[in-house]
Structure 1
Amino acid sequence: MSNINVLTTEESIVSNLMRNPDLLGKLKMKPEMFSDNDIRNFIQYVMDKGKVDATEIYYKSREDKNFMSTKRLSDLFNSDGTSKVFFMSDQLNLLENYVINQAAKQTSEYQASPNRTNFKYLIDQLQELNNMTIEKDNPTDAYLMQVMDNILSDKPKEFIKTGIGAIDDLIIGFEPGQINVLGARPSMGKTALVLNVLWNITKEGYPTTFFSLETGGDNIVERLVSSMTNIPLHKIKRGDGMSDDDTTLVMHAIDQIKKHDNLKIEDKAVVTPQDIRQVAMQHTDKPHVIFIDYLTLMQSDTPQKDRRLEVEKISRDLKIIAKETGCVIIPLSQLSRGIEGRQDKRPMMSDLREAGGIEQDANMIFFLYREDYYDKEIADHESGRSDVEFIIAKNKDGETGTANLQFYKKTQRFYG
């Protein structure tokens, strides 16, 4: 983290070559195109050798005082300031600077001695500079290689599991770059469910952030502690009526949450996509999973008069953020009251409030349905247990269907 965003474009190219020797075959820039003398010598050396061997390079550095210092080599090798995906764009940026600088130099030399011969030479030089290009790799090749690696690798492709078996059996898990929406009517259990999922994901080492636009941060912690300890939420809220064992469990749960510094709870009244982007862009070793409770309370960075269009803009912005940063965004959404007028009150995608863009942008759309939410006579008031249908209404890369869960409302705990 300490070295991030401090590399020059030229240093980024060297750092990438040191960390990823296979990139040498994609190096299109010539040594003379680099302005940094140390880097120019480095590029010349690896091109002459036809390979990037860190050990040989370090020996070269120790023996040749005119070569790049071992300290600078180590700093570039250990830097987090670049990635393989930037290797070609760095070269394109460097080439553009080189062309502009050379054009300015050639023009200046002509102005020092303007005549027809030098003018013709200048035109030829500028034309040659203008023709300099670097062919971009076909992105399809990279996608094909990625799929081949996934299939042939001994290590299976990594999915971010929810930790609830019945759900994971159907969706396999979340993947980087996804936006997955969970919708339900108020008090159906959607916040409790995502807090269960959030804690399961946090324990697996993934960075998680929970944006709470409706509920205070202390209330979110109370609900999380209740689900972790199986102590009724009303006891934790009152702060009395708990046994010594209950108190010990609560203190242990709070300590566990504090120890997992990869978990952040953001209690803000106003959240825009830019707030989400700032969190998503933080450097992490694993994909960041961001929960938003809930989507239709967000505000756009560019407010619009039509609220429906504004929500569509928010949804699209979140999709772009997820794709660009590789994070997973899980917004919660309220559903329209139109459900109440139907005989079958199981949610459909058209029930998403101000839905338009959400339906289109989401990779997966989930709904919760409880029969006892509408039929109070079958509610189990003693245990607080409810049978919940977790409905997968949309799944771009897999099957739809329903997972059967059990929800214990008193302790905010889901099983399945």
Structure 2
Amino acid sequence: MKQSAAIASEREIVGSMVTLPDLLDGELAEITVEDFTVSLHKMMFGMAKTMREQQLNMDRALLESNLSTDLKILDRADQIIEGASCSNLTYHVKAVKDKTRIRQMIQYCSDVTAMVRRGSTSDEVLEDMQNKVFAMSVEEDHGNEIYSMEDVLREVVKESRLRGGLGQVGIKTGFRDLDNLPLLLKPGQMCIIGGRPSDGKTSLAVNILEHIADAGHPTMLFSKEMTEMEIGARVMARRMKYEGDMDRVVSISKGLPLYVTAPYKLTIGNLKAMCRKAALQKKIEVFAVDYLQILDLAGGESRNLQVAHATAEIKSLARELNVPIILLSQLRRMSSEMRGGQRPIRNDDLRDSGAIEQDADVIMMIHRRIEEHAAFSSEDMIALAVSKNRNGPRGVVPLTFDAEHTAFSNYDGVVPSWLEQLRV
């Protein structure tokens, strides 16, 4: 659209606003002062807003007091008001908003040039560009909507029926006792899985993603610790436990919506960009990141500030994409040594725990009652302590870990008494 046509749309909008101030609460509600390029139009917009607030009718005296005593300006304002048809406003709003977006894009290009001149790295520039472009692309779908409670309750009922009952909004993990707690992976939440090295954090996360993908929900794993082939080998091992043949595993896994990436470098900016792309292209419903402490975090700050920034960004990303994000985290080594393998794991046992505990919606800790550094036997019972569960109960559930097949499964044996000591 030519600039002259956009200015004509501005005139129609401001004239309609002054003539019918009620339009500010209806068809013209999304218009802001930044949408206008002509000074007179900006002033008239402010005047229309003031009129609306004070419930006043327009006359010459109000024009003079709000605009100017300059006769030329007043005559132009009169012409705008008299020429307003108060029709086709949807078209005019779209035209004006489109020009606003074009101006934003031009400004973003200037910002990029300024960042380059200041010496910003290519990763920093790329992240800034991606954040701004993505925010613009979802602005219309994720604005400041106001919902009636009736509509909200209808959506709750609809979602609850899909998920199996009131309060069951979220995605099941596929582990019986965990789902029965209940612990569900809910949109917009950040879920932490904590454990010591070699305690099975990655296996548990992959198993959860498999269960969810088997149920038809697309999932994706980001791994900085293992390659795609290593992760694939684990998935193959677990599935061969039940299928027994590699070719059959490949056959029945056709179309399985489980995706994996193992980038050499994974910054928060990379993670956000890749999640956004996967959410749009693959419709991913659950992400998992393995693991927090080996992400490439921004330098120049203390470790605690780096982690705080990372967890805040990941939590914000979960809300932005409206999906749960599972984030794996190591425990502080000292905490394991102090408890001698027996003391219940606490949230502050997480390495760099302050920000993690604050930002997390769910925290699950892997606990096994054996000596430090001991390897898993063929099948060990582990306790999964749910130490934080926003809007849900906490508790401890037993699981079986099969080291040979790197697979967790439901525990069907007698629950030992020591597990009760871990209740949180």
1:265 to 255, 260, 266: 260
Query: How far apart are residue 256 of structure 1 and its match?
Result: 4.2
The aligned residue for residue 62 of structure 2 is none
Task: Say if 2:259 is the partner of 1:322.
Answer: no
Does the CA-based 8 Å contact 2:220-2:284 persist in structure 1? no
- Counterparts of 1:131-170 in structure 2, within 5 Å, are 141-142=147-148, 145-151=151-157, 155-156=161-162, 158-170=169-181
The aligned residue for residue 209 of structure 1 is 220
Query: How far apart are residue 269 of structure 1 and its match?
Result: 2.6
Does the CA-based 8 Å contact 2:367-2:385 persist in structure 1? yes
CA shift in 2, pair 1:191/1:106, >3 Å: closer
The aligned residue for residue 87 of structure 2 is none
Could you tell me how far apart the structure 1 residues matched to 2:382 and 2:228 are? 26
1:372 to 370, 389, 393: 370
The aligned residue for residue 400 of structure 1 is 394
Could you tell me how far apart the structure 1 residues matched to 2:27 and 2:259 are? 34
- Counterparts of 1:74-113 in structure 2, within 5 Å, are 96=33, 99-100=36-37, 103=40
Does the CA-based 8 Å contact 1:287-1:326 persist in structure 2? no
| Cα-to-partner distance string for 1:10-52 (whole Å, 9 max, x where unaligned) | xxxxxxxxxxxxxxxxxxx999549xxxxxxxxxxxxxxxxxx
Cα root mean square deviation, aligned: 3.9
CA shift in 2, pair 1:289/1:120, >3 Å: same
Task: Say if 2:407 is the partner of 1:413.
Answer: yes
Task: Say if 2:368 is the partner of 1:357.
Answer: no
The aligned residue for residue 200 of structure 2 is 189
Could you tell me how far apart the structure 2 residues matched to 1:210 and 1:174 are? 15
Could you tell me how far apart the structure 2 residues matched to 1:154 and 1:342 are? 41
SS at match of 1:227: helix
Does the CA-based 8 Å contact 1:364-1:396 persist in structure 2? yes
SS at match of 1:120: helix
Query: How far apart are residue 145 of structure 1 and its match?
Result: 3.2
Does the CA-based 8 Å contact 1:33-1:98 persist in structure 2? no
Could you tell me how far apart the structure 2 residues matched to 1:277 and 1:386 are? 36
Task: Say if 2:111 is the partner of 1:117.
Answer: no
Could you tell me how far apart the structure 1 residues matched to 2:329 and 2:222 are? 13
| Cα-to-partner distance string for 1:196-220 (whole Å, 9 max, x where unaligned) | 1111111222221111101122111
Q: Which letter maps to 1:269?
A: Y
Could you tell me how far apart the structure 1 residues matched to 2:81 and 2:307 are? 49
Query: How far apart are residue 335 of structure 1 and its match?
Result: 0.5
Does the CA-based 8 Å contact 1:287-1:328 persist in structure 2? no
Could you tell me how far apart the structure 2 residues matched to 1:153 and 1:230 are? 34
| Cα-to-partner distance string for 1:282-336 (whole Å, 9 max, x where unaligned) | 3268652111110111123x43331221011000000110011112110111101
The aligned residue for residue 224 of structure 1 is 235
SS at match of 2:363: strand
Query: Higher relative CO (CA 8 A, sep ≥ 6), structure 1 or 2?
Result: 1
Could you tell me how far apart the structure 1 residues matched to 2:358 and 2:219 are? 25
TM-score normalised to structure 1 length: 0.63
SS at match of 1:100: coil
Does the CA-based 8 Å contact 2:11-2:41 persist in structure 1? no
Percent identity reads: 25
Task: Say if 2:295 is the partner of 1:298.
Answer: yes
SS at match of 1:283: helix
SS at match of 2:206: helix
Could you tell me how far apart the structure 2 residues matched to 1:99 and 1:140 are? 25
2:274 to 258, 274, 279: 279
Q: Which letter maps to 1:228?
A: R
| Cα-to-partner distance string for 1:243-264 (whole Å, 9 max, x where unaligned) | xx95xx212323444532x322
Unaligned stretches of 5+ residues in structure 2: 1-8, 15-24, 45-68, 85-92, 94-142, 164-168, 411-424
Does the CA-based 8 Å contact 1:214-1:269 persist in structure 2? no
Query: How far apart are residue 90 of structure 1 and its match?
Result: 11
CA shift in 2, pair 1:354/1:319, >3 Å: same
Could you tell me how far apart the structure 2 residues matched to 1:188 and 1:96 are? 56
Does the CA-based 8 Å contact 2:171-2:186 persist in structure 1? yes
Does the CA-based 8 Å contact 2:346-2:387 persist in structure 1? yes
